[in-house]
Amino acid sequence: MMVLCKDRQYRNYLDAEFEFWHSHIEALHLEEGRDVLIFGCGMWGKALVKELNKHKNVSIKGFCDNNLELQGQCLENYPIYSAEESVDKYPNAFYIVAIDKYADIIEKQLIGLSVNEERVRIFETYNSGKSIRKYFEERLNDN
């Protein structure tokens, strides 16, 4: 009986994970086939690139980051650019900001580099004001 319970918990977790990523990626309103750069090489940026590859037909061109030590490196087999370099190289790309703490500052930075604000998306890691951890805890405790 314990194995059955753990199997159900795992299945519930997988369902919750899929639901979370699907809803959050859909909320970005990305057009199919568009060039996309992810701003932020942290946990959310890495997770987002993997999930975008599963859920959306977009052309991921790489990452952007303000950390000079990361620029010129690769992450998840994608190049890491400075914001300036990415805008020069991909002037019509969509940018997904995957950094909670500085999202508004980065959005202004990109707009200041002549990226149309319609092409800047903020990846919200909160679901209706709930942290993701709380979201998963509630979803898993429902059953």
The pLDDT tens digits of the residues spanning 77-122 come to 999 999 999 999 999 999 999 887 888 999 999 999 999 999 998 8
Whole-prediction pTM value? 0.79
**What amino acid occupies position 30?**
L
**What amino acid occupies position 59?**
S
Residue among 100, 96, 92, 68 at smallest CA distance from 82:
68
Give me the residue label for tokens 């429902």.
142
Q: Which two tokens stand for residue 53?
A: 């590859």
Which of the pair, 137 or 46, is modelled with greater confidence?
46
Model confidence at 26: pLDDT above 60: yes
Which of the pair, 80 or 45, is modelled with greater confidence?
80
User: What is residue 128's predicted lDDT score, i.e. its pLDDT?
Assistant: 45
Residue among 133, 136, 119 at smallest CA distance from 28:
119
For the ranges 27-36, 37-46, 65-74, 97-106, the maximum mean pLDDT occurs at 65-74
Judging by DSSP bridges, how do beta strands 78-81 and 74-75 pair with one another?
Answer: antiparallel
Distance from C-alpha of 41 to C-alpha of 101, rounded to nearest angstrom: 13
Which of the pair, 3 or 95, is modelled with greater confidence?
95
